[in-house]
Amino acid sequence: MSGKEIMKKAKDKSGKSRSRYRLCVPPCKRYITSGDTHSMCVVCLGAEHTVSALEVVKQIWKVFGPAQVDLFAMRENAQCPLWYSLAHPAPLGLDAMVQTWPSLCLYVFPPIVLLPGVLERVRRDGVSLLLVAPYWPGRVWFSDLISLLDGSPWEIPVRRDLLSQAGGTILHLRPELWKLWVVETIFQSRAISTRKLYALKGKLFTSWCGEHQQDPVNCPVGTVLEFLQARFSTGLSHSTLKVYVAAISDYHAPLGGLSVGKDPLVIRFLRGVLRLRPPVRLHVPTWDLAVVLEALCRLPFEPIEEISIRFLTSFSLLCC
């Protein structure tokens, strides 16, 4: 269906066909003119609109370290020695989305329509990669992207030749609309449970920022404290709020050169929470003594002359 042209005729006053349009790559429903050199509309372009300015690529490598594999590329625009492609030559194979990604430093600038799939792959497989994506907070995938970050994103400086096609001969007319940034996704050494917990807390903070028209990456410390106060008002404990702070610190830009978790106001807030809502320490066992004693009077703890060493040890510990 992607190769099929759907024609729409717009007639002028004389009744003759004035222009023709073809459908963008599904599932996108936008139309582009048949004479356009792009294969996709301006919203979906990603793999074809490559970051072409050599100086920009060098800056990315300097900030994050050089990548070895480009997941969405062609020979003409590949930024790494190895790449996946939809057409030959493809050193690592065709269509990165159906391949097993190697344990190398990965770089990806996917088409927008494939970005949710890439984020799902990162979440499912715990993949760490360098991702070039637009800073579009209004998109449904944005909170997922924020929740998977490992460290603060780096904004790509806008320049005339930032996005191009056909070996740099066709330049994007308005690259500033993309608001491109480079992010590094989840840190692989973290436990899966920690990654899931941080992702959940990060998504909640991002959604809250969206409702309050705040930037979840560069908001002031007052916004973070307002969010934490709202969570505290729902009855959350000091330990839970500390997890929120750790998750936000993972991707939020430094505040005065310090991470969110080390900001003096955040530290003071958490100390206040600890005083107002100290942890509850139970001095009485939660288990029923009568039930335990009744169990000890039956097999395998009785008769005691026939009890095994393993159960005898357990019996001794319980009686101490």
The gap from C-alpha 246 to its chain's centroid, in whole angstroms, comes to 16
Enumerate the domain spans of the chain: 1-36, 50-184, 192-276, 289-319
In terms of Cα–Cα distance, which of 105, 118, 129 is closest to 46? 118
Which band of pLDDT confidence, cut at 50, 70 and 90, is reported for residue 11? very low
- As a whole number of angstroms, the distance between CA 248 and CA 265 comes to 15
State the average pLDDT for the chain: 78
Confidence of residue 42 (pLDDT cuts 50, 70, 90): low
For 50-184, CATH number out of 3.40.630, 2.40.50, 2.40.128, 3.40.50 equals 3.40.50
| pLDDT, tens digit, 9 for 90 and up, residues 96-118 | 888 888 888 899 888 888 888 88
What does residue 261 show for φ and ψ, rounded to 5 degrees? -65, -20
Question: Which of 301, 305, 303, 302 is closest to 313 using CA atoms?
Answer: 301
Buried b (16+ CB within 10 A) or exposed e, 102-115: eeebbbbbbbbbbb
| 304 CB-near residues (< 8 Å, 6+ apart) | 312, 315
Q: Distance (Å, rounded) from C-alpha 301 to C-alpha 287? A: 19
> What tens digit of pLDDT does each residue of 245-282 get?
998 988 888 888 888 989 999 999 999 999 998 887 76
Tokens of 215: 């930037």
The CATH label, of 1.10.150.130, 2.60.120.10, 3.40.50.300, 3.40.50.720, for the domain at 192-276 is: 1.10.150.130
Q: Would you list the DSSP string of 178-213?
A: G-EEEEEB--TTS-HHHHHHHHHHHHHHHHHHHHTT
Q: Distances from the Cα of 18 to the Cαs of 13, 30, 38, 246, in angstroms?
A: 10, 19, 20, 58
User: pLDDT at position 3, please?
Assistant: 38
Query: What number of other Cβ atoms are within 10 A of residue 262's Cβ?
Result: 14
What's the pLDDT score for residue 272? 93
Q: What is the pLDDT of residue 18?
A: 42
For residue 12, pLDDT over 50 is answered with no
**Mean pLDDT within 18-26:** 64
What residue type is 223 in one-letter code? T
Q: What is the pLDDT of residues 160-217, one digit of tens each?
A: 777 776 666 677 777 788 788 887 776 555 667 777 788 888 889 988 988 888 888 8
pLDDT over 70 percentage in the chain: 77
Q: How confident is the model at residue 292 (pLDDT cuts 50, 70, 90)?
A: confident
pLDDT at 310: 75
